[in-house]
């Protein structure tokens, strides 16, 4: 997590494109120039919390899971699941409509979660990881 602005910017671009919102449209709706928005997406400048909230409102991101990728959950998982990666795929599914678990070995898929709750106890964001894993196992 060396470059948080780059991480945030790349996720904003991913969701913006998945929702088919142009850079011009988003810049108009959050009252920022296209140039500034482009710099946010490229991680060239940091985005203040108010602007991030405005972007989230435009893209209706309230249903995504707020994983920061800290890996505290993964470190506590007895199945050694890459939980941040799975959360990221879950969030992408919300906007693309497709769950892409390619590249994840079968024994590391959400169905391998035993629901022990160790991950949730370690999660600073209090994400309901076991519930997410169960939901993804049914897809």
Check: pTM over 0.75? Answer yes or no: no
Considering the chain, tell me which residue range(s) the CATH 1.10.260.40 domain(s) occupy: 4-63
Cα dist from 10 to 2, 27, 42, 71, 99, whole Å: 14, 16, 7, 19, 19
What per-residue confidence (pLDDT) applies to 85?
Answer: 95
Confidence of residue 122 (pLDDT cuts 50, 70, 90): very high
- Higher model confidence: residue 37 or residue 95? 37
What per-residue confidence (pLDDT) applies to 139?
Answer: 77
Cα dist from 137 to 18, 28, 122, 127, whole Å: 23, 39, 22, 17
What per-residue confidence (pLDDT) applies to 72?
Answer: 97
Chain centre distance of CA 55: 14
Confidence of residue 132 (pLDDT cuts 50, 70, 90): very high
Confidence of residue 126 (pLDDT cuts 50, 70, 90): very high
Class of domain 4-63 as given by CATH: mainly alpha
pLDDT above 70 (res 111): yes
What per-residue confidence (pLDDT) applies to 2?
Answer: 66
Cα radius of gyration rounded to whole Å, the chain: 16
């Amino acid at each position: 997590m060396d470059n948080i602005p780059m991480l945030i910017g790349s996720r904003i671009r991913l969701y913006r494109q998945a929702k088919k919102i142009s850079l011009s449209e988003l810049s108009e709706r959050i009252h920022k120039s296209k140039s500034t928005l482009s710099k946010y997406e490229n991680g060239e400048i940091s985005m203040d919390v108010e602007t991030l909230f405005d972007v989230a409102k435009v893209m209706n991101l309230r249903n995504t899971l707020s994983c920061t990728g800290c890996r505290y959950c993964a470190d506590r998982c007895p199945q050694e699941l890459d939980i941040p990666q799975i959360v990221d795929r879950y969030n992408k599914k919300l906007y693309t409509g497709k769950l892409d678990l390619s590249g994840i070995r079968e024994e590391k898929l959400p169905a391998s979660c035993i629901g022990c709750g160790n991950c949730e106890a370690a999660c600073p964001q209090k994400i309901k990881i076991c519930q997410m894993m169960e939901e993804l196992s049914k897809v």
